Amino acid sequence: MFSPEIRTSYQQQLGDMQSQGIFKQERVICSPQDADIEAVFPIGSEMKHVINMCANNYLGLSSHPEVIAAAHAGLDSHGYGMSSVRFICGTQDIHKELEKKLTEFLGTEDTILFPSCMDANGGVFEAVLGEQDVMIADRLVHASIVDGMRLAKAQQDTYKHSDMAHLEQKLQLHQDKRARLIITDGSFSMDGDLAKLDQIVELAEKYNAMVFLDDSHASGFIGKTGRGTHEHCGVLGRIDIITTTLGKALGGASGGCVSGRRELVEMCRQKARPYLFSNTVPPVVAAGAIRVIDLISSTTERRDKLEKSTQWWREGLTKAGLIIKAGETPIVPVMLFNAKLSQDFARDLYDLGIYAVGFFFPVVPKAQARIRTQISAAHEMHHLEKALDAFTKVGEKYGILGLTKAEIIAKYGE
């Protein structure tokens, strides 16, 4: 029974979240996902036209006419839903076709679709590892990996973010285990830096370990032909497990996959619980995603544009006197260090027609509050110029342009 006491208890918990500043509020978008969106925030306020600087729509394919047309065609030819998990009666020809195309695109041996990459990461470790094995993860991997590791029976360990000497120590420590799996993101979602995947693969080969890569923030645009971090680092074909999402650059709808060594993918088909007990990817999404893979396999135009825009944006923010996290990915965090400042800054940007979100502890470490900006191939130069102008104006308002980290913290606190 949902007694008054229980209700009060939940109300107190929610109230605590609000007073701690960690209560999340949805922004309602009343248009398709794109560089230009119509947003309502806070709920109940007037709809406002803003430039979206915080979507994972890296290639600008979320509302691409050819993807929409392919999704329409898939809806007509294959229906709306399958009302089944994959292995009973939920596998259509287009699911197999999409898996084959992802295998070719990622340069692996086989691929299995999941309802999301969260589900792929939630199921893969339990499916391929046992209690005699060990998982050694970078400390900044995505939350879905952390959850997936917790569901597995294998021993867990971690290494300092991108610290290869520390990873080597851990590999030495765990030589007594049956199998070792090094776990990393390709592009780290909060900082936008790339894994040192070439060095990780070398260590894996030296210490007889497998490599797991979550390339959700890289698939489609990192690497010369957009294959991902493994292409960028020159280790195509040497990653044992890749998980990625169709919910970001690859059309942005939903769905994810595990791609890699044939036997490991087959273990997922037999044992991964989110695959076995969750509905199949909707036909309309499979059809749209097939078109996405065809589009990005035929030309690198969109990822090349994204690369150029990212470079312009990074240089522009730096020249304006803002502090950004160094890197080369379209994830560009503007560092503000103070939680309240990050919220005030984001609100003022919104008033100027720029939509970006402030992140602070516990989403990022203490004294690391920031606004995470994400560049898209959907952004034209006029979008980026307007956004840069707004960042500069708000930076001026708070008097932080040209200041060092220590000076910003001295002014606003940690």
Return d(Cα 57, Cα 184) in angstroms, integer.
22
Q: Reduce the DSSP state of residue 65 to 3 states and report it.
A: helix
User: DSSP assignment, residue 93?
Assistant: H
| Residue of 189, 219, 259, 342 marked catalytic | 189
Whole-number minimum distance, CB 147 to other proteins, in Å?
A: 10
H helix intervals, 133-237? 143-151, 164-173, 197-206, 229-232
- Cα separation of 400 and 355, whole Å? 20
In angstroms, the CA 169 to CA 268 distance is 30
Q: Which residues bind other proteins (CB under 8 A)?
A: 137, 139, 146, 155-158, 160, 173, 361-362, 365-366
Residues 6+ apart with CB under 8 A from 308: none
Residue 32 or 365: which CB sits closer to other proteins? 365
Nearer to other proteins, 42 or 362 (CB): 362
Judge whether 217 counts as a catalytic residue.
yes
Burial class of residue 384 in the structure, from the number of CB atoms within 10 Å of its CB (0-12 exposed, 13-18 middle, 19+ buried): buried
Task: Tell me, yes or no, if 95 is annotated catalytic.
Answer: no
Cα dihedral: 161, 209, 186, 29 (round 10): -100
Cβ-contact 27, 328 below 8 angstroms: no
Q: Which long-range contacts (CB under 8 A, 24 or more apart) does 89-97 make?
A: 90/279, 90/280, 91/280, 92/280, 92/283, 92/286, 94/283, 94/286, 94/287, 94/290, 95/280, 95/281, 95/286, 97/286, 97/290
Whole-angstrom Cα distance, residue 214 to residue 8?
40
Closest approach of Cβ 65 to other proteins, in Å? 42
Q: Which is nearer to other proteins, 206 or 366 (CB)?
A: 366
Length in residues, the chain: 414
Answer for the pair 155, 177: CB distance below 8 angstroms, yes or no. yes
Nearest-approach distance from CB 360 to other proteins, in angstroms: 12
**248 catalytically annotated:** yes
From the list 78, 196, 232, 248, the catalytic residue is 248
Q: Rounded to the nearest whole angstrom, what is the least distance from the CB of residue 362 to other proteins in the complex? A: 8
Name which of 37 and 134 has its Cβ closer to other proteins: 134
**Of 145 and 218, CB closest to other proteins:** 145
Report the nearest approach of other proteins to the CB of residue 161 (Å).
9
- DSSP codes joined into one string, 262-307: HHHHHHHHHH-HHHHSSBPPPHHHHHHHHHHHHHHHH--HHHHHHH
Is the CB of 150 or the CB of 224 nearer to other proteins? Answer: 150
> Smallest gap, in angstroms, from Cβ of residue 240 to other proteins?
22
Q: In angstroms, what is the minimal distance from the CB of 29 to other proteins?
A: 32
Nearer to other proteins, 174 or 248 (CB): 174
Residue among 142, 217, 230, 379 flagged as catalytic: 217
Instruction: Cite the active site residues.
Output: 189, 217, 248
